[in-house]
Amino acid sequence: MSTELKAEFVNAQAINDCLRSADAPEPARVRAILDHARALEGLDFEEVAMLIGVRDAGLLEEMFAAARAVKEEIYGSRLVMFAPLYVTNHCVNECTYCAFRANNKELVRRSLTQQEIAAETKILVEQGHKRLLLVAGECYPDGKGLDYVIDAIGTVYATHSGRGEIRRVNVNVAPPDVDDLRRLKAAGIGTYQCFQETYHRETYAKVHLRGPKADFDWRATVMDRAMEAGIDDVGIGPLFGLYDWRFEVLATLQHIRHLEQRFGCGPHTISVPRLEPAAGSEFALRPPYAVSDADFLKIIAILRLAVPYTGMIMSTRETAEMRRKSFQIGISQTSAGSRTDPGGYEHSAGDFNTSQFAVGDTRPLDEVVREIASMGFTPSFCTACYRAGRTGTDFMDLAKPGAIKYHCEPNALSTFTEYLEDFASAETKCAGEQHILRQMAAMNEQQNRIAQPMMNRVRAGERDVFV
């Protein structure tokens, strides 16, 4: 087991000092920062604090335009699709904002059997999903511990229906030690995801009352253990609404820089969840630091400019309208057709009394895909990089000089074509084919030479075509 670390990288004094000194920055300074961000080199701590201090409506629009430009340059039109798969809502922690907390008597508890996990996976496969995020509360059934999660990963990968299959399982489970993280890697996970919730120690102690999760340092240093275990794709993020979002953004940046300095690579993804209503939680109904829609979009733009090569995830916590806006300025991955309760896909509407939180966008995958394509984005079901070994520093070595686009754009179109051929409604297939024609016309000759033969192979019946 790894020597336990302290999360000394979270420096609250430095954050507070920086926020005080960077309030209402001069427009010329802000524009210089935006010019720097467009060079795709990221932003330093003080530059991010300056952008946090921007209030002028005109400057905010310039910030959004810069974020759009950065996203387009790195990610092109693609938007990666996934779905969460909740396998148990049993939990030993007492987190005041979460429906899964141990003492919540309103929650109906359920842990899925492996047969039920296979049934839920089959539903998602038949919708067209290729990538799942496996989620579990911190209490596994039958005393099996992490074996339950590892068995579930194997069940998901083994479940096929027709031409459909899950090609990548990411996991969001309680922070293990290094040995168990090695076991997760050996089970074939893609990204290991774990949210700190809040980087503010005092607030963390107030909202995490009991259970293993009450240990701030053990949770905050899990990404160190993951990278020690050889998992170089990790996902982090605060839960906005527990504390001042400005603090959380800068603390997230401190965490990223710590991982970069220690391991040469930061997180693969950053998630930006906002606190939503949860069954049996008065706290979740009245977040003490509720984030407005305007500030939420500002958060997304700032993070995109600060860490340009890191994927940003938007969940279906948010409404369809907020999700549409976020796709334009920074989000590169999104869930669709999500349920946040074990067995939720069996019941098409989900069940709030077994769910972790309320879902803001309940539309099915097909409808979301159709809208995304109509907006000019390519819904991507690609899982190639993980299986081809393009992870961690290897991914960054391709991303930073811009070479990754010669993999990602063709792979996105290939997997989107596969979705259109196998799963799309007639209306969505029509919208998708129109988008592909527009996208091919906009791509350069080299990308066309790669993408067109791949799509031709898919239309001829081949599957899982990638470069």
CATH topology of domain 77-363: TIM Barrel (3.20.20)
Which residues, in sequence order, are bridge partners of residue 236?
Answer: 270
- Residue 342's nearest CA partner among 71, 152, 188, 175 is 152
What b/e readout covers 430-467, taking b as 16+ CB neighbours within 10 angstroms? ebbeebbeebeeebeeebbebbeebbeebeeeeeebbe
Domain boundaries, the chain: 12-72, 77-363, 401-459
Gap between the Cα atoms of 254 and 238, Å rounded: 12
Residue that has been written with the tokens 């809040």 in this structure: 198
Q: What is the pTM of this model?
A: 0.94
How far are the Cα atoms of 92, 138, 149, 198 from residue 201, in angstroms, in the given order? 21, 21, 29, 8
**What does each of the 467 residues of the chain score in pLDDT, given as a tens digit?**
345 789 999 999 999 999 988 888 899 999 999 999 999 999 999 999 999 999 999 999 999 999 999 999 988 899 999 999 999 999 999 999 999 999 999 899 999 999 999 999 999 999 999 999 999 999 888 778 999 999 999 999 999 999 999 999 999 999 999 999 999 999 999 999 999 999 999 999 999 999 999 999 999 999 999 999 999 999 999 999 999 999 999 999 999 999 999 999 999 999 999 999 888 888 988 999 999 999 999 999 999 999 999 999 999 899 999 999 999 999 999 999 999 999 999 876 556 677 787 788 999 999 999 999 999 999 999 998 777 776 677 666 666 665 666 678 999 999 999 999 999 999 999 999 999 999 999 998 988 999 999 999 999 999 999 98
Q: Residues 224, 174: contact at Cβ < 8 Å?
A: no
**Residue 315 dihedral angles phi and psi, to the nearest 5°:** -95, 175
- Residue 369's nearest CA partner among 72, 124, 128 is 128
**Residue 358 dihedral angles phi and psi, to the nearest 5°:** -75, 140
Write out 270-331 in H/E/C secondary structure. EECCECCCCCCCHHHHCCCCCCCHHHHHHHHHHHHHHCCCCEEEECCCCCHHHHHHHHHHCC
Residue that has been written with the tokens 């051929």 in this structure: 421
Which residues, in sequence order, are bridge partners of residue 80?
Answer: 333, 380
How high is the pLDDT of residue 262? Answer: 96
